[in-house]
Structure formats: structure tokens, C-alpha cells
Amino acid sequence: MPKSGFVAIVGRPNVGKSTLLNALLGEKIAIISHKPQTTRKKALAIKTTKNAQVVFVDTPGVHRPRTKLGEYMNKVVSETITDVDAAILIVDATKEINENEEKIISELSSKKIPTILAINKIDLIKKEMLLPLIDKYQKLMDFVAIIPISAKLNDNVGALWEETLKLMPEGPFYYPEDQLTDANIREICAEIVREKTLRLLEDEVPHGIMVEIEEMKEGDRLVRIFANIYCEKASHKAIIIGKNGEMLKKIGTYAREDMEKFLEKKVYLELWVKVKDDWRNKSNLLKSFGFEG
């Protein structure tokens, strides 16, 4: 009998959840940036071997919300935790534990979710710091295992996979063996554009950005993609476009390069910047962008 199950990847913002997801899969499914609150919706990464299928669920970082979108993001985490066979809690080895982690731990404990603690970014600390760190976390919850990793360098991610497998119940596969994610091509392309804005723009501007693929025309060798970048204010629009359109050009160039790798075809990309006033606080706009509930 094969094994199969769902595993939530949870933690506060910026600890490396999406980086780990990609490392586990060996493919770039989720976008990554050095800014907190990069991930907004849950995303599935499906890893299938001969005898097992594990569906990892990437989640937004748990934080103190300041917008309706933030509230939605936190809710996604709570709902995800309710519905999984196990969880991986990721913490950043260079950071002190804070109230967001305490909140997640109390939720995992009360729902009795078997949880592995992954202490990430160990490439940034001295080896002798590790034992005291493990000791500290051990006192917080009865973790199934504590595994130090570097998601970015793919260090010890294999050990984490082995521990995860041990927690999976017997059962049939949920998805076709060759499926890697539940996200569709349009969603991934929109996320690629958003990733570039997060990497290239400063302060609040990228957090107020939403990307929508308006049209995608696929030919034999070329894919034409037309996308809208929505932002919250006219002043943000000017920043996104940049002097002589240089910023938008940069965003487009980097995004196109990633899309070409992902789609394995040449891409023609056209980006338009539009303003949607304070959309992160407007229920109807959030809904139209797919942030349901």
C-alpha cells in the first residue's frame, strides 16, 4: 500500500517556507523574495515517488495584519492547519522566537498536528549555536523531530523529507504522478511578475501590488502574455513605471526570462500599470483577485 498525505509548511514571514517548498520539489513553483509577506495564497507542491505522494502546502507568513488582505492571509494558515496530516514549522536560526511563532505553536498543539521543526538558514550561524537553539525550541512543543536545514543551499532537506514520509498514512495518491502543483500557468506567470516587483521596488509599493494575466496566446514557438500590474496609488504607479519607463522595462525583462524558463518557449510580455485605490482593504476587489472569504 502506498503512503500519501498533506503537509502544511508554516512559519512567520520571511523564514524560508517557499524556498523550502522549491527545494523539496527540485523545481521553482513558489516565488521568493527578501521581503516579508511574499506568499499570499496557499499553494500546493506535490512530490511523488514510487511508493509515496506528499502534498506540501505553502502558506503565507503569520503576522499581525494591517489590511483585509493580511487578515485573509492569516486565515489561510489557520484553515490549512486544520486540514493536514502533519506540519513543518520553519523558524529562522538567526532570529529570536516571537509572538507569531507562539501563536502558530499554540494552534498546532491544540489541533494535535504532528509537527516537525525545521530550523532554517543554518548557513548563517556558527555550528556551536545550534545545540542551544534546539534546546530552546524543544521546550516549546513536543516536536516529532527537530531538523536543522539550509533550504537555500539544499542542506539536510533530504533528512526533512525522510522524517515527513514517516508521518504519512497509508492511502492512494491524490494527484496524477506527474502533477507538481495545483496552480495554473497563468497564476504562476502572474506570480513571476509580482516576484520581480518585490525584488526591485522598495518599501510599501510592492506590498500593494497585484498582478493579473489579462491574455495569454500560445503559439508553437512564442507565447504572448499581456499582464496588468495593479497598485494602490498614482504615486506608486509612477514609481513602478520609473523614469523613462526604465523600472517597468526591468521588471518585464526579468519576468520574461523566468517565464521562458518555466514555459520552455520564447515569451513576448506586455505589462500595463493600473491604479486600484486601496484594494487590499476592499472586500469586492479582494474577491475578484481570488482572495475568497
Query: What is the Cα–Cα distance from 68 to 244, expressed in whole angstroms?
Result: 34
Q: Length of the chain in residues, anyone?
A: 293
65 binds, among Mg ion, ligand GTP, none (CB under 5 to 8 A by kind): none
Is residue 152 within the footprint of ligand GTP (CB under 6 A)? yes
Is residue 67 within the footprint of ligand GTP (CB under 6 A)? no
Is residue 144 classed as helix, strand or coil in its secondary structure? coil
The cell numbers describing 214, all together, are: 489579462
Which of 120, 164, 181, 197 contacts ligand GTP by CB under 6 A? Answer: 120
Is residue 74 within the footprint of ligand GTP (CB under 6 A)? no
CB of 45 to Mg ion, least distance (A): 12
Please give the residue whose beta carbon sits closest to ligand GTP in the complex: 61
121 binds, among ligand GTP, Mg ion, none (CB under 5 to 8 A by kind): ligand GTP
Q: 34 or 64, CB closer to Mg ion?
A: 34
Which of 33, 48, 53, 74 contacts ligand GTP by CB under 6 A? Answer: 33
The cell numbers describing 264, all together, are: 520552455
Which of 7, 32, 105, 285 contacts ligand GTP by CB under 6 A? Answer: 32
Q: 20 or 54, CB closer to Mg ion?
A: 20
CB of 15 to ligand GTP, least distance (A): 4
Query: What is the Cα–Cα distance from 237 to 201, expressed in whole angstroms?
Result: 11
Contact segment (CB under 6 A) with ligand GTP among 26-34, 76-84, 224-232, 274-282 equals 26-34
Q: To 10 degrees, the CA torsion angle through 233, 236, 241, 243?
A: 130
Angle ∠(194,197,182) on CA atoms, nearest 5 = 15
Is residue 13 within the footprint of ligand GTP (CB under 6 A)? yes
Going by C-alpha positions, the residue among 277, 278, 258 that lies closest to residue 269 is: 258
CB of 53 to Mg ion, least distance (A): 22
Query: What is the Cα–Cα distance from 40 to 59, expressed in whole angstroms?
Result: 7
Which of 5, 8, 38, 195 contacts ligand GTP by CB under 6 A? Answer: 38
Which of 3, 28, 47, 121 contacts ligand GTP by CB under 6 A? Answer: 121
CB of 221 to Mg ion, least distance (A): 33
Paired with 206 in beta bridges are none
Long-range contacts formed by 213-219: CB under 8 A, 24+ apart: 213/186, 213/189, 214/272, 216/185, 216/186, 216/189, 218/265
DSSP-derived letter for residue 122 is G
Is residue 80 within the footprint of ligand GTP (CB under 6 A)? no
The site string for ligand GTP over 42-61 (x = CB under 6 A, - otherwise) reads ------------------xx
Contact segment (CB under 6 A) with ligand GTP among 110-118, 148-156, 237-245, 267-275 equals 148-156
Q: Please, what's the largest Cα pairwise distance for the chain?
A: 61
Is residue 277 within the footprint of ligand GTP (CB under 6 A)? no
Binding interface with Mg ion (CB under 5 A): 17-18, 38-39
- Rounded to the nearest 10 degrees, what angle do helices 17-25 and 157-166 cross at? 80
Concatenate the DSSP letters of all residues of 10-29 into one string. E-STTSSHHHHHHHHHTS--
Query: What is the Cα–Cα distance from 3 to 228, expressed in whole angstroms?
Result: 42
Backbone angles phi, psi at 51, to 5 degrees: -110, 5
Contact residues for ligand GTP, defined by CB under 6 A: 11, 13-19, 32-34, 36-39, 60-61, 120-121, 123-124, 150-152
